[in-house]
Every structure is written in structure tokens, then in C-alpha cells.
Amino acid sequence: MKKEMKQYLNYIENACKGDIKDKEKLARELYTRIGFYQHERLVHLIVTMSFGVFFLLSILLVQVNTSFLLLSALFLILLIPYIAHYYFLENSVQELYTYYYFLTEENINRD
């Protein structure tokens, strides 16, 4: 997903910098893609929050039984990359919003 998102950001950036023949079509395509990426972002938010809750619960269990320390470490090791990936998705979708606003504002101002 990260590679695809980077490629699409590069594509849309180049398209917005160049001479765009059909801005409305590009804006519709971008709007559709933003919807897909928002769905992906929501799924990753749910997974990230779940691992955060599991990590906190495992920390509470460590106080009861120290054998849960390994489980806590595992959740923490998994939580860090999930947070980093969600951060990337969030920032990338925000950047796509910027390009969408750029395309639609020019269309609005043209009318």
C-alpha cells in the first residue's frame, strides 16, 4: 500500500504541475482514490487502536503475572510499525486532499 500511495502521489503531483486537459476527470478520479485510501486508513486506524488496547491490557496483566511480559513486548513491537504506517497514510491522504482542492477550486473559479 505504501508503494502504491507514493506512486499515486507522484502521479497526481506531476499531473497538477503540468498542463491538465480534463481537470474534472482527474478530480473525479482523485475523489474515487481518496475514498479507497480513506477506507484503508480507517482499517489501519482500527488495527492500530486494537493493538494499542491489547498492549495496555497486557501491561495490566504483567502486574498480575510476570509471564505476560513477553506478550506485552510482542504487542509493543507490532504497535510501533502500525503507528508509523498509519501516520504515513494519514499524511498522504491529507496531501491528496490538497490536490483535490487545487483541482476543484480552479474548476469552481472557472464557472
Query: How confident is the model at residue 97, as a pLDDT?
Result: 93
Is pLDDT above 50 for 46? yes
User: What's the whole-number mean pLDDT along residues 28-50?
Assistant: 92
Helix (H, G, I), strand (E, B) or coil at 57: helix
DSSP string, 30-56: HHHHHHHHHHHHHHHHHHHHHHHHHHH
At residue 66, the pLDDT reads: 85
Confidence (pLDDT) at 111: 46
Q: Note the pLDDT tens digit of each residue in 52-105.
A: 999 999 999 988 888 889 989 999 999 999 999 999 999 999 999 999 998 887
